[in-house]
Structure 1
């Protein structure tokens, strides 16, 4: 079989920079100006969805005609999006079968029908999804990223490299293609390459900025501490996995480098980014409407963790998303950021609902424990390079990979002792509990992410 054709940038450089500059100017607006702009864009997006999409015409048309507010409209899950894809898209030439066929073919890196950027995700949920961006939506998506990068000091002269997915079906791959076209020439990396090749390339390139997954920052820390990697980046940009304070501290201790996290959803595109203060993710409210809700889709106050985040897109006319459900457990900030940006922020992301472990409770019954509650014994244990929670039918397994030269038995003992204490603190008493040392924990899906939680059958 012939190899998949690599993607090329599709956006005109001058047009992209102009769009990014327009968004940078919005960053200087007052919050009142921003909310006014967002409100007008929302009404336009909803009107278009009802007029052009059979699905939305049937599900929200009458409600909007009667003056219903956004919060009164139905939620769209990933499963509903996939089941109704052909009726949600507004171009009758598009269908889920066509998109999936394109993504599964040898030209998945090219534009579908000569105009649509198609991407797919298995995500943390393991449930496959596909999405398309029309030309204006793709321009908006990349311009949002360029805007937020400019806010943290990245421009067209910055020596920058990205280490993300290797598959041209994944959105991070295509974002990287577009951004590389703006910057000085740099080597192409992906997280599935041999680490020796990545280390050699980084040593030769000496990037100022590295964009990658939080879990891969930990890998690079190990290489730097071992003396094989010899770089001096000033900034890391992370995405797609939950960023922990432990990873921030490792970057600061190893390189005196800051980390600015970004927030990207395959179906919606780049949605937010931290400023250099690192005090929450500023949300692109000129391109999206965000709602944090509880398990019954009721809004929760700022500062309170919701059960999910709902996103309404304002730019993608080909695939409108109205109150699209993302299973991140987030809490909005309670006050404006000291940096002065008008965009409200996600104050914290605890992880995904799918990262919740169901374990036997001491004394009977079960208890739900989010995996992030059990991370401290792992992130604090010297020698741990990677870790993953494995949900067993009646218990828990923790797989760990250790750094070269570490005493695996000592690391194993420290992790087991620490996690047992953490389990006891939340009244969890798994019938089966074990820690297993492995050579490495494989990355999964087209995005090559490292899953925090898998089932015993994965």
Structure 2
């Protein structure tokens, strides 16, 4: 099912709509946001010089630091009295980034999320359980309101108390689950501990996952516990742009469809800022076309992907973005080699005898980086066999050497000993940095 006509517009019609909205947005931010006016003046570009979509690349980038430097409302294009909602990031690495919504912004947000929910298989017949944390985080209320627009019944269970989550799922007949990939796995893990089989004892058949990267290996593991016929998709967004609703997978699973009538996506070389051609991998940059309160221009997301312009088998003609392969700011440099946590996860999940939970610890001894990967074994009995542990450790090391081109240390631990996450998983501890940074 396709929710909106805009998802099937011919390319020329979509680009004409984007250009019209881009011109209006650039003019508005230049007139109403002093920070943007200063950036554009410094770059020597005026709104009148934006005549084609290609002229977008003449405009300066916006970064998270711009939002922090203008905390809390300096990047807003409307007065506070027009705001109906304010959200903010946690601000764990600096001042929080504050985002706001007018009435029209909230309507657009609901529409965008409704589209990705329907693309993922959501319907008005669903009972949708939202296992994101409600609060300043945009994920829970974003999915809540979008699914409500579709007509689904909402169970706003938030995060935590996983046994009670399972009670709700069983007693209410939950059919659609919203969660992070890691928490969806945790729910299935707890279900097994209390004697429930999600495939047989629950009615969840659609999983709409987001807020953290999901590798194809993780999707395969989720299918093992939720069922091979379950619809398991991921979607993309961030609070600065809107929240969830920027893009999402359809059931064809060939990339995330971008709501192009509301966002223009570019991919750039993260080092030079040069715009790359469709199909080339780089950093995603997004321009908001219809946001009233916080209309960001060329926002550098730090997420790594590539764009696909060919139409999808589902019937949508919107550009798609490949599922993320990492972030420029979570890349680890180990002895001169670039390593992404997603590479480690892909390699680990295909190894028999270990569970899906892992932790990456990076340290330095002298002038040498040490990469240690902590992994849970599936069976406690394995911890009593030195030979079995040694063989498993050797097998994992070899897989990592092939995947990463590095020798790493492997630390095998008992089942259920590593941290579990109800929100976004934090897998990396980098002890080389001052203050032990979790990624």
With the length of structure 2 as denominator, give the TM-score of the two structures: 0.83
CA contact (8 A) 2:33 2:75 kept: yes
CA contact (8 A) 1:236 1:258 kept: yes
Aligned residue for 1:312? 287
Aligned residue for 2:256? 281
Tell me, yes or no, if structure 1 residue 296 matches structure 2 residue 269.
Answer: no
Counterpart-to-counterpart distance in 2, 1:278 and 1:89: 36
Q: Name the stretch that deviates more: 123-132 or 393-402.
A: 123-132
Q: Helix, strand or coil for the counterpart of 1:298? A: coil
Counterpart-to-counterpart distance in 2, 1:201 and 1:78: 38
Q: Helix, strand or coil for the counterpart of 1:138? A: helix
Q: Which runs of 5+ in 1 are unaligned?
A: 1-20, 94-112, 361-365
Shift of 1:207: 1.7
Q: Report 1:94-105 matches (<5 A).
A: none
CA contact (8 A) 2:144 2:156 kept: no
Q: Which runs of 5+ in 2 are unaligned?
A: none
Aligned residue for 2:177? 210
The verdict on how the C-alpha distance between 1:39 and 1:404 changes in structure 2, with shifts beyond 3 A counting, is: farther
Counterpart-to-counterpart distance in 2, 1:384 and 1:409: 17
Counterpart-to-counterpart distance in 1, 2:169 and 2:78: 43
Map Cα deviations across residues 179-221 of structure 1 (whole Å, 9 max, x no partner).
Answer: 4655555543233x12211122211122221111111222233
Counterpart-to-counterpart distance in 2, 1:415 and 1:357: 25
Shift of 1:71: 0.5
Q: Of 236, 246, 262, which residue of structure 1 is paired with 2:217? A: 246
Map Cα deviations across residues 268-299 of structure 1 (whole Å, 9 max, x no partner).
Answer: 12200111111100001110111100021111
Shift of 1:119: 1.6
Counterpart-to-counterpart distance in 1, 2:340 and 2:78: 41
Counterpart-to-counterpart distance in 2, 1:48 and 1:83: 21
Shift of 1:409: 6.4
Tell me, yes or no, if structure 1 residue 59 matches structure 2 residue 59.
Answer: no
Tell me, yes or no, if structure 1 residue 174 matches structure 2 residue 141.
Answer: yes
The CA RMSD measured in Å over matched residues stands at 2.9
CA contact (8 A) 2:23 2:47 kept: no
Map Cα deviations across residues 91-118 of structure 1 (whole Å, 9 max, x no partner).
Answer: 354xxxxxxxxxxxxxxxxxxx583322
Shift of 1:372: 1.9
Q: Of 428, 433, 442, which residue of structure 1 is paired with 2:406? A: 428
Q: Of 43, 54, 62, which residue of structure 1 is paired with 2:23? A: 43
Counterpart-to-counterpart distance in 1, 2:312 and 2:268: 22
Q: Name the stretch that deviates more: 125-134 or 288-297.
A: 125-134
CA contact (8 A) 2:263 2:289 kept: yes
Counterpart-to-counterpart distance in 2, 1:353 and 1:194: 34
Q: Helix, strand or coil for the counterpart of 1:337? A: coil
Q: Of 412, 417, 434, which residue of structure 2 is paired with 1:439? A: 417
Aligned residue for 1:228? 196
CA contact (8 A) 2:40 2:59 kept: yes
Shift of 1:402: 5.5
CA contact (8 A) 1:356 1:371 kept: yes
Counterpart-to-counterpart distance in 2, 1:190 and 1:418: 39
CA contact (8 A) 1:387 1:399 kept: yes
CA contact (8 A) 1:273 1:283 kept: yes
Counterpart-to-counterpart distance in 2, 1:131 and 1:374: 33
Counterpart-to-counterpart distance in 1, 2:384 and 2:63: 44
State the number of aligned residues.
Answer: 406
Q: Helix, strand or coil for the counterpart of 1:189? A: coil
With the length of structure 1 as denominator, give the TM-score of the two structures: 0.80
Aligned residue for 1:134? 102
Map Cα deviations across residues 360-411 of structure 1 (whole Å, 9 max, x no partner).
Answer: 2xxxxx2221222222342123441422322223212323455686745679
Aligned residue for 1:91? 78
Q: Name the stretch that deviates more: 339-348 or 64-73.
A: 64-73
Q: Of 371, 374, 385, which residue of structure 1 is paired with 2:341? A: 371
Counterpart-to-counterpart distance in 1, 2:214 and 2:303: 13
